[in-house]
Amino acid sequence: MTAMAEEATANTDDTTADPAQRRGRFGISRKVRVTFMKFAASSAAATVAGQLVLSFLYWTHLTTAGISSAIAFLTGSVINYIAYRKWTWQRKGRPSLRHELLPYIGVVAIYGVGTVGITKLTHMWLSPLVEDTAFRGLLLNACFLFATGVLFLFKFLLLNRVFGERHGKGSPAATSPS
């Protein structure tokens, strides 16, 4: 029995494989899993910062809800860009306008429009079924979280192409000076 266990362990223990290339339960490499966790943590930090800005601006009556939301979104986007580039994907040097900044703005714009669109459509579809105003507010938040969740993975996949795997070791974007 012990010999079978050792043989099974020997067959599954690949000591020659690069740790970054090892595949997890769903066939996703360790490198991608770690990158995704950093992406999620960066996104959470930017969300908290954006919510603080939104709350401050709105509660102090410095701006309207729409302007507060826009400033909060921009705050989160700038924090995300810096965190994603430097920490999540460990990019160094001067960013390329064409290969990094413009694609990032495009992805964020698609994400923002998609989140708002899915939230609006879902809410329009479900809100006639609910009469209570408080429950409608909860429903709106649930729709927003649903839209954000659906698009979150899509956003990661696109940004991983912008900052990560798209640029090989010899590409100018990956080797630009610090």
Task: Give the number of other CB atoms < 10 A from CB of residue 86.
Answer: 13
Residue 63 has what pLDDT? 78
Asked if residues 43 and 57 have their Cβ atoms less than 8 Å apart, the reply is: no
Backbone angles phi, psi at 29, to 5 degrees: -65, 155
Residue 177 has what pLDDT? 45
Residue type, position 4, single letter: M
Q: Cα–Cα distance between 116 and 122 in angstroms, integer?
A: 10
pTM summary value: 0.62
Q: Cα–Cα distance between 23 and 54 in angstroms, integer?
A: 40
Q: Where are the domains of the chain?
A: 29-93, 94-166
Q: What is the 3-state secondary structure (H, E, C) of 9-63?
A: HHHHCCCCCCHHHCECCCCCEHHHHHHHHHHHHHHHHHHHHHHHHHHHHHHCCCC
Across the 178 residues of the chain, what is the mean pLDDT of every consecutive 10-residue run? 46 48 69 89 87 81 77 87 86 82 89 80 80 74 75 88 63 43
